[in-house]
Structure 1
Amino acid sequence: MSNHVKNTVKKVFEDLADAIDTGSMEKRLKIGLTIDGSELGPDVMKEAAYAIRKKNLFDLVLIGDDADWTDEFIHVSTTDCQKDAYSKMEELLETGEIQGCVTLHYNFPIGVSTVGRIVTPAFGKEVLIATTTGTASANRNEAMVLNAVNGIIAAKATGITHPTVGILNVDGARTVERALVTLKKNGYDIIFGESRRADGGAVLRGNDLLTGAVDVVVCDSLTGNLLMKLFSSFNSGGSYEVLGSGYGPGIGENHSANICIISRASGAPVITGALMYAYELARGQLPKISQAEYQQANSAKLKQICESLQPVVIEHQAKAAAPEKEVVTSEISGIDVMELDDAVAVLWKENIYAESGMGCTGPIVLVNEAHYESARTLLEQAGYL
């Protein structure tokens, strides 16, 4: 009898013993791990596998090349490294043999993006970064709106019943904020968090990332990917990811497989965290929650809101001449940086002198204090606030 068969039989009897002791016959979850392709070598996979086995919360299924330690686990042997491993992983997920899998460098289709999980250094709080790989849409602002929904899905699947959401202060943040506020007004249950800085609001500063001001941080995937690398490896010089739970599960409206991503530089602690993350998502029924959240968001006109974020081709118009210059001391914030010049032009056309600027909290329009209220009203009516 082979070692693999012996271990499988042993595992069956151990599960039966556990069931008798606990009075529960609930089927244990199985989470896969593709073990080939790490830049750090196979030992990090081995270390993570043994760490998971010690926790004894679920069954680990290894997918990849044979090694001197793999016969101690449930092992699906592959021959063509990652290509074959991806195929086996997808097959096992499709048939329900495993309920989630952690893998390296998997290519998701457009419409699917991953929600990573980090540990903030200030208070040790876990925070979800939505998103970190893949892309929910080719349109950046639309992608960030969808990322907010994906982040909420991941949070609820891991047991955060009422997750708070903040938007990282990157290009498009104010446009995304307005879109999400509209989604909330239309009936989608989104809870905005608050920056811990004095000016507050749902648009987050760098300090808020370090302190974990919200449960879900919304950003574009490229920024999210950078954040994951910084938060996971800032203590190791960048070559070995030490902290966090990896780059997370791919989530999208028409995607149901629980596939979680790690980096080729992810060390054993991150791989272990990613496997635990995948387990939590499987236990929390990620596909079911994803379907329910997208149904609610679509009922709140998510698709129409996303359509409104598409670029509009406007015929060239002569730029309004600047009114007579005035002293400008009043700041109007909340305008997206990409729309600053257009916002100033709106005020110029109404004979209000204005200038664009960049304050410590982001882009601003400067006007004379005598025109502050009327200028703000005009910008609200034009859709810039």
Structure 2
Amino acid sequence: MSENIKKMIGETFKDIAKAIETGSFAAGIRVGITTLGSEHGVENLVAGAEMAAKESAGFEIVLIGPKVDTELEVAEVATEEEAHKKMEELLDSGYLSACVTMHYNFPIGVSTVGRVITPGKGKEMFIATTTGTSAAHRVEAMVKNAIYGIITAKAMGKKNPTVGILNLDGARAVERALKELDKNGYPITFAESMRADGGCVMRGNDLLGAAADVMVTDTLTGNIMMKVFSSYTTGGSYEGLGYGYGPGIGEGYDRTVLILSRASGTPVAANAIKYAAKLSAGNVKKIAAEEFKKAKAAGLEDILSALTATKKEAVEEEVKMPEKEVVTASIAGIDVMDLEDAQKALWKAGIYAETGMGCTGPMVQMSEANLEASKKILADAGYIA
């Protein structure tokens, strides 16, 4: 038996013994954190790593940065660039299970899923996504973000996470795409807004109350939300709450890299390390491969292709407005950029309609008598589901 094999067997038995001794979910897991680049200094992140080590027996922590006085293992580097190179080397070799870092560039198609505790009810919520770019097309990116959020939530132990879509431009198109994916065999449990009108399109109240386990948004909005949730008690210069901006998720992406803001404080650094350890223990890479496989089997690629294609022709010709009548019914779920074209599509069919903006977003209004016919016309034209 070679010395390498003996060593591997020895390490395995040590990991098993540690798991039995500590009862830890993360025995045998090693998490790195790069310590250069923080606005609050190297000491801030080292303190976070030491806090995580004290609070979470069972996994090891490696500092990647300058030499410091600590009992933790240190992989010495002098610059942020060297730190990222060392991080990638240790991840790719398998020495690290995951790593927490700042200011890291992901490839297009990969974005991060943040984790917060909401102030309304003290409930955990995943924000999908918070850094990176899932796709160049906004709605396509948000559909992917939903899957990324589901992957992360499942790796963290939520077997059936609820999914809500923040009420942004494109939210209704995202809703239609996700419901088509669900109908095709990729199961999604849609959250219900805490507001009286319900639905899976979420409002500001739902953010504070964590009405969804996974909150789907575009990355820039998600990034702002993370900053607000993390620093609303500190005035913004120090992020003192939450678990950081989370792991980069994307099809075929094989590194578990979690992002911190340069403004992250010691408690967030500690939480991000624990987040990384739990994702590794939950086998996030395996779950990601399984979820992408199931989503593609349910027609994900065709759904995404349809989003970026021209699905409907804009009504460009002059359309005469039908005779005006009282409008008491309304149809929501139309993207604001399509609102006038949807109105003209109804006018073209001889139905008088007006556009409006309710508290849940854009809508087209018509008489009660024309409501069902209007729904069919708008659905056939691709403006609503």
Contact persistence 2:329–2:367 (CA under 8 A): yes
Q: How many Å apart are 1:321 and its aligned residue?
A: 2.2
Q: Which residue of 1 aligns with 2:156?
A: 158
C-alpha separation in 1, matches of 2:61 and 2:366: 62
Determine whether 1:32 maps to 2:32: yes
Q: Which residue of 2 aligns with 1:73?
A: 72
TM-score, reference length from structure 1:
0.92
Change (3 A) 1:375 1:118: same
Determine whether 1:214 maps to 2:215: no
C-alpha separation in 2, matches of 1:89 and 1:22: 27
Structure 1 range deviating more: 366-375 or 341-350: 366-375
Q: Which residue of 2 aligns with 1:370?
A: 369
C-alpha separation in 2, matches of 1:263 and 1:180: 30
Query: Residues 191-210 of structure 1: CA distance to partner in whole angstroms, max 9, x if unpaired?
Result: 11110110001100100010
C-alpha separation in 2, matches of 1:198 and 1:138: 34
Q: How many Å apart are 1:173 and its aligned residue?
A: 0.3
C-alpha separation in 1, matches of 2:240 and 2:276: 18
Q: How many Å apart are 1:329 and its aligned residue?
A: 2.2
Secondary structure (helix, strand or coil) at the match of 2:88 reads: helix
Contact persistence 2:37–2:262 (CA under 8 A): yes
Q: Which amino acid aligns with 1:334?
A: G
Change (3 A) 1:340 1:44: same
Structure 1 range deviating more: 322-331 or 239-248: 322-331
Q: Which residue of 1 aligns with 2:234?
A: 236
C-alpha separation in 2, matches of 1:143 and 1:108: 15
Determine whether 1:129 maps to 2:130: no
Q: Which amino acid aligns with 1:330?
A: A
* Counterpart mapping for 1:198-347 below 5 A: 198-312=196-310, 317-347=316-346
Structure 1 range deviating more: 49-58 or 340-349: 49-58
Q: How many Å apart are 1:317 and its aligned residue?
A: 3.4
Q: Which amino acid aligns with 1:279?
A: A
Contact persistence 2:19–2:27 (CA under 8 A): no
Query: Residues 99-120 of structure 1: CA distance to partner in whole angstroms, max 9, x if unpaired?
Result: 0000001110110010000110
Secondary structure (helix, strand or coil) at the match of 2:36 reads: coil
C-alpha separation in 2, matches of 1:267 and 1:381: 52
Q: Which amino acid aligns with 1:51?
A: M
Q: Which residue of 2 aligns with 1:358?
A: 357
Q: How many Å apart are 1:20 and its aligned residue?
A: 7.3
C-alpha separation in 2, matches of 1:121 and 1:43: 28
TM-score, reference length from structure 2:
0.92
Q: Which amino acid aligns with 2:58?
A: L
Secondary structure (helix, strand or coil) at the match of 1:309 reads: helix
Query: Residues 174-195 of structure 1: CA distance to partner in whole angstroms, max 9, x if unpaired?
Result: 0000000000010001111110
Q: Which amino acid aligns with 1:158?
A: M
* Counterpart mapping for 1:95-174 below 5 A: 95-174=93-172
Structure 1 range deviating more: 52-61 or 153-162: 52-61
Query: Residues 84-142 of structure 1: CA distance to partner in whole angstroms, max 9, x if unpaired?
Result: 00000000000000000000011101100100001100111110000000011000000
Q: Which residue of 2 aligns with 1:42?
A: 42
Q: Which residue of 2 aligns with 1:64?
A: 65
C-alpha separation in 2, matches of 1:243 and 1:325: 54
C-alpha separation in 2, matches of 1:130 and 1:227: 11
C-alpha separation in 2, matches of 1:247 and 1:169: 21
Query: Residues 252-299 of structure 1: CA distance to partner in whole angstroms, max 9, x if unpaired?
Result: 011021100000001111111111111111000111000000000000
Secondary structure (helix, strand or coil) at the match of 2:318 reads: coil
C-alpha separation in 2, matches of 1:196 and 1:57: 39
Q: Which amino acid aligns with 2:112?
A: T
Query: Residues 210-248 of structure 1: CA distance to partner in whole angstroms, max 9, x if unpaired?
Result: 001110000100000000000000010000001110000
Change (3 A) 1:92 1:341: same
Contact persistence 2:325–2:352 (CA under 8 A): yes
Secondary structure (helix, strand or coil) at the match of 2:308 reads: coil
Change (3 A) 1:367 1:103: same
Structure 2: give runs of 5+ residues left out of the alignment: 1-10
Q: Which stretches of structure 1, 4 residues or longer, exceed 2 Å deviation after superposition?
A: 14-24, 311-317
C-alpha separation in 2, matches of 1:370 and 1:62: 68
C-alpha separation in 2, matches of 1:298 and 1:366: 37
C-alpha separation in 2, matches of 1:136 and 1:106: 15
Give identity over the alignment, percent: 54
Q: Which residue of 1 aligns with 2:378?
A: 379
Structure 1: give runs of 5+ residues left out of the alignment: 1-10
C-alpha separation in 2, matches of 1:161 and 1:21: 28
Structure 1 range deviating more: 45-54 or 95-104: 45-54
Change (3 A) 1:40 1:296: same
Query: Residues 63-83 of structure 1: CA distance to partner in whole angstroms, max 9, x if unpaired?
Result: 01122x24x21110012x110
C-alpha separation in 1, matches of 2:122 and 2:150: 20
Change (3 A) 1:299 1:357: same
Contact persistence 2:18–2:27 (CA under 8 A): no
Secondary structure (helix, strand or coil) at the match of 2:323 reads: coil
Contact persistence 2:18–2:58 (CA under 8 A): no
